[in-house]
């Protein structure tokens, strides 16, 4: 849909009188799609054709190829990716175990434009001249995609029970969700942040808005607007739920849309954050943005919309307080200025690779610019939380918290605490508590998996290690959808009044689905695709099922694994499909069973053009 040359386009339009008709629109080069006064050729049901001039302005789509449009994007590479690409990657997992997941946007599929216009008009309530304003449109869409305070597209569910709907990890793309919503006119069950983001990307791209999905690892949820994330714990290392309202999500996925911000300042044109995941209300609705990424980086947290909330998501400080009772003062245990926004990434344009965009949101950690920006943001906040530094008078013992990476589900894992006594003369007695908790990716604690206390003497000028081993049978029954654990360490050096607290996220890795494809795949010719997943568990896999999306499939294909899969064996499946056209495409698959969830894989395939020689028609 390039508009840098004349073209004709079929669509459904809605005029300012709220009537909808099917039309065929032709335009000259460099026209602004946001607001046209055009002649419209209209075909009505009896087949007759009429040509007339529309009396009022038509507000329809945005044109990122047109220099006069507020969403004009100079980079052809990014236009191809953020407007035209129908298959993307959304990152999930944890910072130390990234999990790329294929997502089918399918913004040009049949009826997706009609679905998107319905969401904008009837759910988002964007009508008349507002349709030409990308700020108003994207803000409305951020609210309309979730069902928290309207009858939006997706109902969120962060529990571990998904009866009456589909688990968020089972969705492969937006098409099935949007078509189901458009048909039944009620929220689709269920979604979490990456599902909201994937669907919002589809709608925005269908409307011509350059959009990409973005993942922030260690994403702060600042409920009080203080730009800090405050945790209150007791001597046992337990979080005090009554005092804690802030949280840190293992990862959070939102969207960026490219636009001119004539309502703010031209310095803050470019990528803008919008977020459809219901977290906090903004102007009485669960919506975020558009918030200028440039304003976030420079600490201008008062700019519209929701810049302070986004700033905290990527740059808040984590502060840990020891609570010993109402009559005792709080004690600062630790301040972590680097724990939030560890990595911010999106799909690279034109490649199935990760692009690190952390630097467009924040200055490098530990730099003077980063601390200056934080101070600047705090000075603008109406709810400034006093910021303290740890008392580092005692530094004889150095603590190092170690987690072994790359653990596959089914394997045991261990947590180690290394204590180095730098004193040449003094021995120290240290009380240590190591604990492994089951959490969901939003940072909510659920179950204690294992906990162990140690009393050790760390000799002068020596190294001492304590460790906690966790076997598969200890964590298997408590695993949630994302397979994430919170590893905690609490240590007290006796007779020093020094206490150490640390935590980290840890994720066991599910096996990937592997594809076996023919050497040559030709358009219009049936081919057979094999796929499998290896059972890494010490127990058999039961009631397994593959879900596959491939070019030409009207709906996802489901293949059941008929028998149990023993430990170390492979669950196998195959399917036949006929590639509808030549080009580069993506096969995507999910696998679920009683013992494992959230397993996926993808394969990029190249479909060759069917030549006359291949078709056997050469003379």
Q: Is residue 385 part of a domain?
A: no
Find the angle CA(91)-CA(95)-CA(99) to the nearest 5 degrees.
Answer: 35
| 614 in a structural domain | no
Pairing of strands 583-592, 545-549: antiparallel
How many Å apart are CA 33 and CA 55, to the nearest integer?
17
Active-site option among 109, 115, 252, 504: 252
Q: Domain check: are 503 and 558 in the same one? A: no
In a domain, 453, yes or no: yes
Check whether 19 has a pLDDT greater than 50.
no
365 labelled as ligand-binding? yes
Q: Are residues 56 and 167 in the same domain?
A: no
Is the backbone peptide bond immediately before 290 cis, with ω within 30 degrees of 0? yes
Q: Per residue in 455-476, pLDDT tens?
A: 999 999 999 999 999 999 999 8
- Is 494 part of any known ligand binding site? no
Confirm whether residue 315 is marked as ligand binding: yes
- Please tell me whether residues 344 and 436 are part of one structural domain: no
Q: How far apart, in Å, are the Cα atoms of 106 and each of 12, 222, 561? A: 18, 34, 28
In DSSP terms, 217 is beta-bridged to 251, 343
Does some domain include residue 389?
no
DSSP label of 595: S
- Give the lowest-confidence range in 25-34, 49-58, 84-93, 148-157: 25-34
Residue 152 in any domain: the answer is yes
Q: How far apart are CA 542 and CA 593, in angstroms?
A: 6
Task: Give 379-427 as a DSSP string.
Answer: HH-SSPPP------S--SEEEEEEE---PBTTS-EEEEEEEEE--SS--
What one-character DSSP code corresponds to residue 541?
B
Q: Which two tokens stand for residue 191?
A: 């979604």
Whether 317 has a binding-site annotation, put simply, is: yes
**In the Cβ-directed half-sphere of 125, how many Cα atoms lie within 13 Å?**
5
Residue listed under structure tokens 């640390």: 502
State the catalytic residue, choosing from 115, 193, 204, 593: 193
In 3D space, the residue among 45, 53, 48, 46 whose CA is nearest the CA of residue 25 turns out to be 53
The percentage of residues in the chain with a pLDDT greater than 70, rounded to a whole number, is 86
Backbone angles phi, psi at 606, to 5 degrees: -115, 115
C-alpha 327/C-alpha 333 separation (Å) is 18
- The per-residue pLDDT for 115 is 93
57: pLDDT confidence band, cut at 50, 70 and 90?
very low
Residue 66 lies in a domain: no
Domain boundary residue, one of 330, 349, 380: 380
Domain count within the chain: 4
Angle at 401 between CA 397 and CA 407, to 5 degrees: 160
Residues 215 and 155 in one domain: yes
Q: Is residue 391 in some structural domain?
A: no
Q: What is the pLDDT of residues 362-420, one digit of tens each?
A: 999 888 888 888 878 877 776 534 333 234 456 788 888 887 767 889 999 999 999 99
Residues 440, 526: one domain?
A: no
Residue 330 has pLDDT above 80, yes or no: no
Reply yes or no on whether 489 is catalytic. no
Integer-rounded Cα Rg, in Å, for the chain is 27
CATH number at residue 347: 3.90.260.10
Closest CA to 275 of 360, 215, 358, 363: 215
Pairing of strands 288-292, 39-43: unpaired
Q: Are 536 and 511 in contact (CB under 8 A)?
A: yes
362 in the same domain as 249: yes
Whether residues 578 and 557 fall in one domain: yes
The residue out of 462, 487, 507 marking a domain boundary is 507
One domain, residues 16 and 112: no
Which domain CATH number covers 461?
2.60.40.10
Mean pLDDT, residues 551-578: 94
Known active-site residue 252: yes
Q: What is the pairing mode between strands 413-421 and 463-470?
A: antiparallel
Task: Give the pair of three-digit tokens for residue 11.
Answer: 């669509």
In terms of domains, do 405 and 371 share one? Answer: no
Instruction: Tell me how far the alpha carbon of residue 310 is from its chain's centroid.
Output: 14
Of 275, 300, 505, 598, catalytic: 275
Catalytic site residue 260? no
Q: What residue numbers bound the domain in which 38 lies?
A: 7-60
- Are 205 and 82 in contact by the 8 Å Cβ rule? The answer is yes
Q: Is residue 175 part of a domain?
A: yes
Chain mean position to CA 352: 16
Give the model's pLDDT for residue 383: 55
Query: pLDDT per residue over 210-225, tens digit each?
Result: 999 999 999 999 887 7
3-state secondary structure (DSSP) of residue 476: helix
562 in the same domain as 534: yes
150 & 215 share domain: yes
């Amino acid at each position: 849909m390039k508009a840098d040359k004349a073209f004709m386009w079929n669509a459904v339009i809605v005029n300012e009188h709220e009537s909808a008709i099917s039309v065929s629109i032709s335009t000259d080069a460099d026209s602004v799609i946001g607001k046209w006064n055009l002649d419209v050729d209209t075909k009505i049901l009896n087949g007759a054709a009429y040509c007339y001039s529309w009396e009022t302005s038509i507000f329809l789509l945005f044109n990122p190829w047109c220099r006069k449009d507020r969403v004009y994007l100079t980079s052809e590479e990014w236009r191809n990716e953020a407007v035209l690409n129908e298959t993307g990657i959304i990152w999930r997992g944890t910072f130390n175990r990234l999990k790329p997941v294929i997502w089918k946007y399918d913004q040009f599929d049949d009826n997706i434009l009609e679905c998107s216009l319905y969401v904008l008009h009837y759910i988002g309530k964007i009508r008349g001249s507002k349709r030409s304003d990308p700020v108003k449109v994207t803000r409305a869409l951020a609210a309309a995609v979730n069902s928290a305070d309207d009858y939006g597209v997706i109902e969120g569910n962060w529990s571990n029970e998904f009866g009456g709907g589909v688990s968020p990890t089972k969705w492969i793309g937006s098409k099935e969700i949007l078509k189901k919503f458009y048909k039944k006119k009620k929220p689709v069950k269920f979604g979490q942040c990456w599902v909201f983001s994937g669907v919002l990307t589809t709608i925005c791209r269908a409307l011509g808005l350059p959009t990409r999905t973005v993942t922030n690892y260690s994403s702060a949820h600042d409920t009080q607007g203080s730009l800090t994330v405050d945790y209150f714990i007791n001597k046992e290392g337990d979080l005090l739920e009554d005092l804690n309202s802030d949280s840190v999500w293992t990862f959070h996925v939102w969207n960026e849309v490219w636009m001119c911000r004539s309502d703010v300042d031209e310095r803050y044109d470019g990528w803008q954050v919008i977020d459809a995941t219901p977290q906090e209300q903004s102007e009485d609705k669960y919506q975020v943005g558009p918030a200028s990424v440039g304003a976030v980086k420079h600490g201008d947290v008062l700019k519209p919309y929701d810049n302070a909330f986004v700033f905290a998501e990527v740059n808040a400080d984590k502060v840990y307080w020891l609570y010993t009772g109402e009559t005792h003062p709080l004690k600062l245990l630790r301040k972590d200025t680097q724990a939030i926004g560890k990595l911010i990434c999106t799909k690279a344009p034109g490649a199935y690779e990760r692009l690190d965009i952390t630097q467009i949101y924040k200055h490098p950690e530990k730099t003077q610019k980063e601390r200056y920006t934080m101070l600047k943001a705090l000075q603008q906040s109406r709810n400034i939380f006093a910021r303290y530094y740890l008392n580092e008078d005692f530094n004889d013992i150095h603590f190092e918290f170690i987690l072994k990476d790359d653990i596959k589900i089914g394997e045991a894992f261990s947590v180690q605490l290394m204590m180095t006594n730098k004193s040449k003369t003094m021995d120290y007695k240290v009380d240590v508590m190591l604990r492994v908790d089951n959490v969901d990716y939003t940072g909510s604690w659920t179950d204690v998996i294992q906990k162990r206390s140690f009393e050790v003497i760390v000799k002068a000028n020596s190294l001492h290690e304590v460790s906690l081993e966790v076997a598969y049978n200890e964590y298997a029954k408590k695993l949630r959808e994302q397979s994430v654990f919170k590893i905690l360490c609490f240590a007290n050096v006796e007779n020093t009044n020094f206490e150490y607290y640390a935590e980290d996220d840890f994720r066991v890795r599910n096996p990937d689905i592997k594809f076996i494809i023919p050497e040559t795949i030709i358009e219009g010719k049936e081919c057979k695709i094999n796929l499998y997943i290896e059972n890494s568990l010490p127990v058999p896999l039961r009631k397994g099922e593959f879900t596959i999306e491939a070019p030409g499939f009207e709906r996802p294909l489901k293949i059941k694994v008929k028998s149990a899969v023993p430990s170390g064996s492979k669950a196998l499946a195959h399917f036949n499909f006929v590639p509808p056209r030549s080009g580069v495409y993506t096969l995507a698959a999910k696998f679920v069973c009683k013992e494992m969830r959230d397993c996926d894989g993808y394969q990029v395939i190249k479909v060759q053009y069917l030549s006359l020689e291949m078709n056997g028609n050469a003379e």
